[in-house]
Amino acid sequence: MGGDGHGHEAHGGDFRQKVWTMSGGPNCRPVHWKRNTAIAMFGIFLVCIPVAMLSAKLEQRPHMPVRPIPSQLWCKNFGNQEYENRK
């Protein structure tokens, strides 16, 4: 009935190979997934490290913060001030 040649097999063919699912279906592990993940992580670190260094270099605060801020540990724009003696 006109359905010839559309990839449907009338004799019990396995349709699961042609169905796309978010979980990956029957082939949920790509061939080089470990290598691709390592390349992606390297690229992320390659971009994020210079951005973080530039951010620490440009960070300025017009007023001393009330509580310690983690970026004060590596930022050069802060002086060494004891928070216990501020009261």
Has residue 53 got a pLDDT over 50?
Answer: yes
Entry pTM: 0.50
| More confident position, 34 or 4 | 34
pLDDT tens-digit series, residues 19-47:
767 666 666 677 888 999 999 999 999 99
Query: Which burial class, exposed, middle or buried, applies to 71 when counting CB atoms under 10 A from its CB (0-12, 13-18, 19+)?
Result: middle
The enclosing H or E element of 54 equals helix 33-58
Which pLDDT belongs to residue 83?
Answer: 47
pLDDT mean over 52-68: 83
pLDDT tens-digit series, residues 65-84:
788 888 777 777 666 555 44
Contact 50, 60 (CB under 8 A): no
Rounded CA gap, 68 and 43, in Å? 32
